[in-house]
Structure 1
Amino acid sequence: MSAALGCSIILRLFLRRQTLAMPGSLYLLSLGLLLSGTPSLANDCPYRPTATEQFDYMLDLSGNGEYFLFWKFNTSHITFEAHAKTHGWLGLGLSPTGRMYPADMVTGWVKSDGSIVFTDRFSSSYYPPKKDESQNYQLLRAEENEFGTILKFSRLLDTCDSKDFVISGDTVRVLYAYHPDDPVSEDRLIYHGGSRRGFKSVRLLESRAKIPDLPDDVQHFDFLNGINGKNNMINLPARDTFYHCTTFNMPDIGGKRHVIRYDPVVTPGNEKIVHHVVLYRCRGEEPKYAHMDYDCYAATTDYRPECRSVFLMYEIGAGSFIWPEHTGLSLGAEGDPSFFVMETHYSNPDLRGDIWDNSGIRIFYTNQLRQHEAGVMETGMEITLTQFIPPHEDSFLSEGICSMECLKLGLPNATDEIKVFALFHHSHLLARGMKTRLIRNGVEQPPIANDENYDFNYQAANVLQKEITIKSGDSLIIECNYQSMNRTNVTMGGLGIREEMCLSFLMYYPKVKVDACLSSPAHDAPSDFQIDQMTSYLKQVDHHSHGQMNRLNSMINQIDWRNPSVRTKFRNKAKLSGFDNQCFYRGKKVLGDYFQRPEVNTPYQKPKSSCTT
């Protein structure tokens, strides 16, 4: 792989490598795809320009080394420095969707006489962006050099201008554009063309810290697909969605160790095909089944190990993950997992049959044990056919509940608590927003995480600004906001990209024995809605049976979903219905009872804006 290619796909921190002694700090080395055998390409980028000062973060927006963005922030302001390979004009924008409108933008260039043009703009249509009446971006520096043009500027996180994007912890699409020539005037920008524009998703205010060096005692091992295949590769079937499973015995690592980091290992060229990798730990040791490869969810699969507990996961757009220095994931001790199943979700929309892959996970561990044992808890909605998203909806909410009863199995005493330091939100193509809500004694606390601009193609860890405490007696509501305007049929929960999920994977400490705290909708609220007739049938459907699935789809899509009153009736029914518990304790389902949505007597209110109307 060329260094230039590495530059184009890796988002990394632009800092010298050093260890940061900050308790509670979480390190996320890279928010881009990290390729096999390439733990860091920060020094291998031949196209990277030099920033005018030390910045915390850097992103190759163009993907080809022609437009770089550096940035840093504090509690009130953010400073950007854009480097574009042009001596013409360049622009930078912030958008919730990735479209060129609506968007908050700046443009600038250095004229032939050395004078500078820099303008705060906004776009509301396909026409060139207009000059904002309120110029809220402060130019700090502009110059041309051998690389191209530099624009350095700052702004408030919230400018109190309705035409400016409020910068928060949400995902934002950072737009870029440039042109080789200067405009003839400030009011007549030259069209950038199709090849000199684009966007990338990022959380600008990510709570990441400086890149630490790995201590000398750290070792690693790999779990990779294809260990039994031709040339240690697997040949993917020509299917839109494929879940491949490989089993592994735990290697001998010499006793109890703490996992402190893992890297996704993605076969070069397959970055858009490997959607996610989940490593499950299994109950008991099954050495005779080690190094098996099979279709995870095929009806013909004879072997299904009892592996329900998530150990590690990598999702599209994510990168290396490093635990806070006071926590680690235990491996190698008595009672620790000795057998694993790695599930790799491949998305192959072009139905190609010529794809070979050996992607997986690289796990780093240390014999210097940390203060706390960390865990991973899956929360939200069980992957189920009873999740319905009607078509033609601009905004439709689905909820998965982590019940108080399930959490209490892991937090049995009134004083028990866990601390969440990061999480992964996971949904599919229809999701536009995801929120992990925390309910305590009927009072909704500030959300653990809330991303109103969720991007399916950017599912990196959400590193929390500060650790959030979950106490015994609390419950969680995982909320997914879907947009289905372009669908003509109901979308159900399922494994495929065009089906949906609503999950939040909590990274926390100290480790408890609850592995998954999920629910499924019961659809029990009485109504005259036709779906009542199929509720019991839904729970019996075998999704591997084409006949049963065809019958189910026929029943559901006989409903006139184009009628707004029908969709409203279904939405009201969903709000009044209860849930079935899907609680997994030490790898086994222990609760399956019916329960009602937790009462929220006092909803959370966002802090009032300091902006005056």
Structure 2
Amino acid sequence: MAVLLSTIKGMLFLLLLPCFCFGQPAPPLLRFSIFLEPANRVYLHWDHDEEEMMTFELQVHTTGWVAFGFSPDGELPGSDIVIGGVFPNGSIYFSDCHVVDQATLEEDESQDYQLLSVTENETSTTMLFKRHLRTCDPNDLDITTDTARLVTAFGTDDTVQFFKGQRFSRSLLLMRYRGPSDSTDPKIFFTYDLRLDNFAVPAEETKYACTFIPLPRVKQKHHIYKFEPVITPHNITLVHHILVYACGNASVLPSSIDDCYGPNPDFALCSQVLVGWAVGGESYQYPEEAAVSIGTPWDPQYVRLEIHYSNFDLLPGLIDSSGIRLYYTPELRKYDVGVLQTGIFTFPVHFIPPGAESYRSYGLCNSSQFDEMNGMLVPDLHVFAYLLHTHLSGRGVKAAQYRNGEQLGIICEDNKYDFSLQEVRDMKETLTVRPGDEILVECNFQTLDRSGITYGGPSTMNEMCLTFLFYYPRNNISSCMGYPDILYIAHALKQEASDAVEAIMALDFVDWDNETVKIAEKVAKEADQVVMIKTINELQRNETGLIRDISIPEWSPCHNISGHLSISGHLSPSGLRAATNPCLTAVCTSESSTLRETASPPLLPLTQLVFSWLVLASEYGK
């Protein structure tokens, strides 16, 4: 009898363990991680594989419920959410939901997120789960190379109140292809800062400050293999972007600091981008096969440091010493890196009408003259990374490649562009651009909040449409950008003008509405494009070209792997309460508007069996 009771007690102990302890797999190694809110209470690890599956591990500083998901536009309605946690008794709950409106959370009929584990300690809850990049559920948002708007939330206990919990949002690129472990520092390396020195930022909405700085003096060839921003801490919201332009060694450069695009044109010299950073970006390390060369007679000795300040609050007395830190090494890579600037040439010929829900602009690069302008044959460009850039009205950017008039594919794109997240992004695979190819950059803008025309220009309230392509091996071409025939556009809009200046001015007399916006978009695409090609030594040549249509690749097949649950009703605005009946899949809403608990399938039959044994043992001992 004692042996039997001991065995039964041991089995009861096992049955009281939380269900996620049974057969829990070893956690996967996830390459990417980031804090999702300022207080560092929400930490996300993630990774994706060749089977188009993405795995997430969400660690939250709470012992209550946690939620994670995607928003289509940064707002709650339409968001794709999973909610989970651990009850005080050790059992767990987890469910795939979507937000209907500001007060309604509804369970997905198709449960496409697969829970791997939920664990809890004295201070934190960790939820490990995965899903396909593209499911067949219309309530699940696709994970693409676009910027994702993430939503996270949590509560202090397991009474799920999604709309009352602490909630955060953050823009993030999830489809990354190189993690920190994929790049290592060389054994010997040095750092060198390109910075302004106590620059007095004026109380102006926009300021472009430029100065010329020598690169590190080295006696033999070195490679710059990494760069990172160095931002004066209290100016983190002030610095919009930092660009470093390589100067031709024959250039006569000014001293001091001045407006980059002001009355002195010398401060706009040097147009070949060497490295670049913009708001939201972090450090960037080049791939193992290529880096930026310094120290040879063909390498630049000086650079132009350009810092764009956005002082929207017109704060006086701001002092800044921001810049870029370079990491360089004598341990050389195989190739030298170059950067090609493409898109729309930035000046007022580029315009976006007011009140536009969507307006597309185009800039063309025709590389047919690259060999002649380079002074020698240009090798194929192996593009491995890119940086996309617009200002506040930009909603999407894409670059397409054409050869002999036929589109080869999309080089890079972000259809959910976020002004606050501009970073150098790696290509999935290196892409080859041959001399003679065309590169077409399309930018999509929205100006519903503007009553006047938005012109191309340097101010944050102006617009830009640029794509920086990082490639190897380097050549002397610094930029290849286009702009449309503005006179043709003005005449198509029934405005009188005899030259480009009059055409730009005439646009203010257009009665802008949905019809005229679409006419402007159509004729700007039909107009001849002037293509401007420039070299590192400021040589420039213009040619013409035409804008071609961009074909969008077909979607890959979706993955329908979920179980289908019947549902009715919605969640109450105050949230959800835990139900008592266990089930294999947690649900966000049911006829009783509850979140149900996930339990291990064998738990109930074994409990009944042990109870029967206890009854028999009691009878046996009488």
Question: Can you list the C-alpha shifts for 1:12-50, whole angstroms capped at 9, x where unaligned?
Answer: xxxxxxxxxxxxxxxxxxxxxxxxxxxxxxxxxxxxxxx
* Alpha-carbon shift at residue 249 of structure 1 (Å): 2.3
* Alpha-carbon shift at residue 405 of structure 1 (Å): 2.8
Residues 419-458 of structure 1 correspond to what in structure 2 (within 5 A)? 419-458=382-421
- Which residue number corresponds to residue 199 of structure 1? 169
- 1:388 aligned to 351, 365, 377, which one? 351
- Which residue number corresponds to residue 256 of structure 1? 221
**Secondary structure of 2:496's partner?**
helix
- Which residue number corresponds to residue 365 of structure 2? 402
- 2:189 aligned to 193, 197, 218, which one? 218
Q: Is the aligned partner of 1:295 residue 2:259?
A: yes
Change (3 A) 1:304 1:526: closer
- 1:558 aligned to 509, 526, 536, which one? 509
Contact kept in structure 2, 1:409 and 1:514, CA below 8 Å? no
* Alpha-carbon shift at residue 113 of structure 1 (Å): 2.2
**Secondary structure of 1:216's partner?**
coil
- Which residue number corresponds to residue 606 of structure 1? 554
Contact kept in structure 1, 2:490 and 2:507, CA below 8 Å? no
Greater helix percent: which structure? 2
Matches of 2:119 and 2:215 in 1, distance apart? 56
Matches of 1:380 and 1:168 in 2, distance apart? 23
Contact kept in structure 2, 1:89 and 1:181, CA below 8 Å? yes
Matches of 1:330 and 1:539 in 2, distance apart? 45
Contact kept in structure 1, 2:371 and 2:378, CA below 8 Å? no
Q: Is the aligned partner of 1:209 residue 2:179?
A: yes
- Which residue number corresponds to residue 161 of structure 1? 137
Contact kept in structure 1, 2:227 and 2:326, CA below 8 Å? yes
Matches of 1:288 and 1:522 in 2, distance apart? 33
- Which residue number corresponds to residue 98 of structure 1? 74
* Alpha-carbon shift at residue 283 of structure 1 (Å): 2.1
Matches of 2:196 and 2:483 in 1, distance apart? 32
Matches of 1:224 and 1:539 in 2, distance apart? 41
After the TM superposition, which parts of structure 1 deviate over 6 Å for at least 4 consecutive aligned residues? 410-415
Matches of 1:390 and 1:535 in 2, distance apart? 21
Matches of 1:159 and 1:288 in 2, distance apart? 56
Matches of 1:347 and 1:116 in 2, distance apart? 48
Contact kept in structure 2, 1:277 and 1:360, CA below 8 Å? yes
- 1:583 aligned to 529, 533, 539, which one? 533
Q: Is the aligned partner of 1:568 residue 2:518?
A: yes
User: Any stretches of 5+ residues in structure 1 without a counterpart?
Assistant: 1-50, 227-232, 542-551
Letter in 1 for 2:545: F
Letter in 2 for 1:443: E
Structure whose CA Rg is larger: 2
Report 1 or 2 for greater relative contact order, CA contacts < 8 Å, sequence distance ≥ 6: 2
Matches of 1:128 and 1:152 in 2, distance apart? 25
Residues 318-397 of structure 1 correspond to what in structure 2 (within 5 A)? 318-397=281-360
- Which residue number corresponds to residue 65 of structure 1? 40
- 1:247 aligned to 207, 212, 215, which one? 212
- Which residue number corresponds to residue 189 of structure 1? 161
Contact kept in structure 2, 1:408 and 1:473, CA below 8 Å? no
Matches of 1:252 and 1:172 in 2, distance apart? 42
Contact kept in structure 1, 2:223 and 2:333, CA below 8 Å? yes
Change (3 A) 1:304 1:144: closer
Question: Can you list the C-alpha shifts for 1:39-72, whole angstroms capped at 9, x where unaligned?
Answer: xxxxxxxxxxxx9653211111122121111112
- 1:55 aligned to 13, 30, 33, which one? 30
Matches of 2:140 and 2:540 in 1, distance apart? 50
Q: Is the aligned partner of 1:277 residue 2:242?
A: yes
- Which residue number corresponds to residue 431 of structure 2? 468
- Which residue number corresponds to residue 598 of structure 2? none
* Alpha-carbon shift at residue 529 of structure 1 (Å): 4.0
- Which residue number corresponds to residue 15 of structure 1? none
Question: Can you list the C-alpha shifts for 1:137-188, whole angstroms capped at 9, x where unaligned?
Answer: 11111122122211111111111111101112221011111111322xxxx7
Change (3 A) 1:586 1:298: closer
Matches of 2:85 and 2:437 in 1, distance apart? 54
The alignment of Structure 1 onto Structure 2 pairs a total of residues equal to: 533
Residues 511-530 of structure 1 correspond to what in structure 2 (within 5 A)? 511-525=474-488, 529-530=492-493
**Farther-moved stretch of structure 1 (603-612 vs 465-474):** 603-612
* Alpha-carbon shift at residue 540 of structure 1 (Å): 9.8
Matches of 2:322 and 2:396 in 1, distance apart? 29
With structure 1 as the length reference, what TM-score do the two structures score? Answer: 0.82
Q: Is the aligned partner of 1:315 residue 2:287?
A: no
- Which residue number corresponds to residue 88 of structure 1? 64
With structure 2 as the length reference, what TM-score do the two structures score? Answer: 0.81
Letter in 1 for 2:230: V
User: Any stretches of 5+ residues in structure 2 without a counterpart?
Assistant: 1-25, 561-622
Matches of 1:271 and 1:498 in 2, distance apart? 19
Matches of 1:137 and 1:146 in 2, distance apart? 26
What's the Cα RMSD here? 2.4
* Alpha-carbon shift at residue 454 of structure 1 (Å): 0.8
Change (3 A) 1:363 1:535: farther
Letter in 2 for 1:272: T
**Secondary structure of 2:116's partner?**
strand
* Alpha-carbon shift at residue 517 of structure 1 (Å): 0.5
Letter in 2 for 1:267: T
Matches of 2:266 and 2:375 in 1, distance apart? 35
Change (3 A) 1:172 1:410: farther
Question: Can you list the C-alpha shifts for 1:59-114, whole angstroms capped at 9, x where unaligned?
Answer: 11122121111112112211111111122221101123221122111112222222
- Which residue number corresponds to residue 542 of structure 2? 592
**Secondary structure of 1:364's partner?**
strand
Letter in 1 for 2:528: G
Change (3 A) 1:150 1:283: same
Question: Can you list the C-alpha shifts for 1:517-545, whole angstroms capped at 9, x where unaligned?
Answer: 1111113547754475357243898xxxx
Matches of 1:504 and 1:288 in 2, distance apart? 27
